[in-house]
Chain A
Amino acid sequence: MIWLALMMLLSGPAWAEEARPLGDDPVVEARLKTLAVELRCLVCQNQTLADSNAPLAEDLRREVRAMIVKNMSDQEIIEFLVSRYGDFVLYRPPLKLTTTVLWVGPFVLLAVGAIALVVALKRRGQKVADAAITEEEHRRVEQLLSEGVKRS
């Protein structure tokens, strides 16, 4: 048993060595990684190209890697993918006529909410101020409050 445990311990680093991608340039891999987290996998739509294990994601990573090796700029690589799959591949959709609601919508809703809040607060303030009471009522309030103090 001890020998088995020792063997497993010793072979651990060897496994890690094998798991590394075969003969890949670390510079290329680093660029691929920064690009792939910005790109959406089209098969499993809530995963990035970096996370997904779908065969298409693998193919697209291979394509992007090849384009990086060919020294294409990030812009060119993104254009390559957008021209084929549309803006959907981008996790950050560009600001266009069709995406204005997406970009501006939340701010519009926030403004509407803020205005509604201000209006509601003002109205409530007015209501409290407008509620005038008579001398009689005032005395009764005082009396009730003092009774409360005694009771406690």
Chain B
Amino acid sequence: MSRFLLPLTIFAVVVGFLAVGLTLNPREIPSPLVGKAAPDFSLPQLHEQDKVFSPKDLAGQVWLLNFWASWCSGCKTEHPVLMQIANSGAVPIYGMDYKDQRDEALTWLNRWGNPYPIVGVDLVGRVGIDYGVYGVPETYVIDKQGVIRYKQIGPVTEEALAKTILPLVKELQAQ
């Protein structure tokens, strides 16, 4: 019996590693930007093109920055959740229209609803690179000092909102 003990133990350890590996999402790459100042930018707004959208204007409040695009299917998935946040007034979500076409973006917002007070336009994706965006949608929680506190990779789910984002927002707002 004891001669089977060692192979069995090794087998169990390998199975353990593989089981943990299965629960991980290889698409989620931890962002080195969490805990660092949100990169500054100054981009034209989607609705009023002659106006500028900059994170400097939002200093002193907790806000979400949501990278989205009308061509992105995950953005449609998370859209109801974003509308829910916007309607509750828990925290403002600012949009960043990532590598999109203006008329299509406007049509998309008109059709599904606009959860954003302001949408910036990142036409070439340069600001996206500064934020380490590698696939829309991605959402950042930014605190009163302009520091990135959390990055949601992929759609904002009900679960992520209730368990992670809203508690964090409340904590940051109280500071």
Contacts of A84 in B (CB 8 A): 32-33, 129-132
Q: How far is the CA of A43 from the CA of B125 in the complex (A)?
A: 15
Is B135 an interface residue when CB atoms closer than 8 A count as contact?
Answer: yes
**What's the tally of chain B residues with a CB closer than 8 Å to chain A?**
17
Whether B16 sits at the interface, judged by CB under 8 Å, is: no
B99 within 8 A of A: yes
Quick one: which of A1-59 are within 8 Å of B by CB? 42-43, 45, 55-56, 59
A82 touches B32 (CB 8 A): yes
CB within 8 Å: A-B pair count: 40
Give the contacting residue for A59; candidates B29, B30, B31, B124; CB below 8 A: B124
Is residue B89 contacting chain A, with contact meaning CB distance below 8 A? no
Contacts of B29 in A (CB 8 A): 42, 85-86, 88
Tell me the bound Cα distance from A42 to B134 in angstroms: 6
0/1 per residue, B117-129, Cβ < 8 Å to A? 0000000111011
Q: Which residue of the partner chain, among A43, A83, A87, A88, contacts B135 with CB atoms under 8 Å?
A: A43
How extensive is the interface on chain A, given as a class? 10 to 19
> Chain B residues with Cβ under 8 A from A59's Cβ?
124-126, 128-129
Residues of A within 8 A of B30 (CB): 86
With both chains docked as a complex, state the minimum distance between the C-beta of B28 and any C-beta of chain A, in angstroms.
Answer: 10
List the B side residues contacting A45 at CB < 8 Å. 26
Q: Are A83 and B32 in contact (CB under 8 A)?
A: yes
Task: State the Cβ distance, B75 to closest chain A Cβ, in Å.
Answer: 16
A152: shortest Cβ distance to chain B, in Å? 35
- The residue of chain A having its C-beta at the shortest distance from the C-beta of B132 within the complex is A84
B129 touches A86 (CB 8 A): no
Q: Which of B117-175 contact A (CB under 8 A)?
A: 124-126, 128-132, 134-135
Given A45-B26, A55-B99, A85-B32, A63–B129 Cβ distance below 8 Å? yes
Task: List B contacts of A55 (CB < 8 A).
Answer: 99, 125
**A62 (CB) vs chain B CBs: closest residue:** B124
Main secondary structure of the interface of A (DSSP, over half): helix
A56 CA to B124 CA, complexed, in Å: 10
Q: Which of B26, B125, B134 contacts A85 (CB 8 A)?
A: B134
CA distance A43 to B26 in the complex (A): 11
- Give chain A residues whose Cβ lies under 8 Å from the Cβ of B130: 84
The answer to whether A56 touches B135, judged by C-beta atoms less than 8 angstroms apart, is: yes
CB-nearest residue of chain A to B31: A86
Interface of chain A residues 77 through 107 with chain B (CB within 8 A): 82-88
The complex places the Cα of A45 from the Cα of B135 at a distance, in Å, of 12
Residues of B within 8 A of A (CB): 26, 29-33, 99, 124-126, 128-132, 134-135
> Shortest 5 CB-CB distances between A and B: which pairs?
A42-B134, A84-B132, A86-B32, A88-B29, A85-B132
- 27 pairs, CB–CB < 8 Å, chain A vs chain B: A42-B134, A43-B134, A43-B135, A45-B26, A55-B125, A56-B125, A56-B135, A59-B124, A59-B125, A59-B126, A59-B128, A59-B129, A60-B129, A63-B126, A83-B32, A83-B33, A84-B32, A84-B33, A84-B129, A84-B131, A85-B29, A85-B32, A85-B132, A86-B31, A86-B132, A87-B32, A88-B29
